[in-house]
């Protein structure tokens, strides 16, 4: 057991029932060492954790809203993330497949690329973050993941 007592000119340390007295000039070094240790421990403990989701954790149907350019999302949209990296855009409310493509997961970031089946030649991309049951991100035309607008969706 270690007990520290700081006084004006010296420090008393009780270590295994033995009293150790440190003079003032040594106390400054001890205080600096303790401060350094506490600061280093605080930096290490505040390290940001990396979130890694598995494909099984993200598969499902997501529904919500999309917006154009800088507008707030307000247009109904939904998509389905299936096993085997299969991505479907769904018609809101009917769940009819209106687009097909693939998706990838990197940590908690989901990206997808798909072709719209109703309008040949039209393809879209999305990119966003999955946090719990919500998906927030952007969509775009072709390979661009952000030149279309924003997405705000929730897992059904």
Total domains present in the chain: 2
Q: Which of 77, 102, 104 minimizes the C-alpha distance to 90?
A: 77
Q: Are residues 82 and 125 in the same domain?
A: yes
| Residues 6+ positions from 13 with CB-CB distance below 8 Å | 2, 3, 4, 5, 19, 20, 21, 22
Average pLDDT, integer, range 85-98: 91
Q: Provide the whole-model pTM.
A: 0.67
Is residue 60 one of the residues assigned to a domain? yes
For residue 40, pLDDT over 80 is answered with: no
Query: Same domain for 67 and 88?
Result: yes
Same domain, 65 and 125: yes
| Domain match, 64 and 111 both | yes
Contacts 24+ apart (CB under 8 A), 101-105: 105/53, 105/55, 105/58
Do 26 and 99 belong together in one domain? no
Q: Could you list the residue range(s) of the whole structural domain that residue 29 is in?
A: 2-45
Domain containing 139 — which CATH number? Answer: 2.40.128
Asked if 60 and 89 sit in the same domain, the reply is: yes
Identify whether residues 118 and 72 lie together within a single domain: yes
Residue 82's pLDDT is 95
Sign of CA dihedral 27, 29, 32, 37: negative
Percentages helix, strand, coil for the chain (3-state, rounded to 5) are: 20, 50, 30
- Residue-wise pLDDT for 44-81, tens only, equals 666 555 678 888 999 999 999 999 988 899 999 999 99
């Amino acid at each position: 057991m270690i007990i520290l007592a700081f006084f004006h000119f010296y420090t008393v340390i009780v270590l295994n029932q033995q009293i150790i007295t440190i003079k003032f000039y040594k106390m400054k070094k001890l205080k600096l060492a303790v401060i350094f240790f506490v600061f280093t421990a605080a930096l290490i403990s505040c390290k940001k954790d990396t979130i890694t989701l598995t494909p099984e954790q993200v598969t499902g149907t997501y529904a919500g809203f999309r917006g154009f350019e800088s507008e707030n999302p307000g247009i109904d949209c939904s998509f389905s993330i299936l096993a085997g990296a299969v991505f479907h855009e769904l018609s809101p409310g009917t769940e009819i497949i209106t687009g097909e493509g693939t998706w990838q997961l990197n940590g908690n970031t989901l990206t997808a690329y798909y072709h719209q089946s109703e309008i040949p030649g039209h393809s879209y991309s999305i990119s966003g973050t999955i946090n719990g049951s919500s998906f927030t991100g952007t969509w775009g035309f072709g390979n661009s993941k952000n030149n279309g607008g924003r997405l705000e969706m929730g897992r059904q």
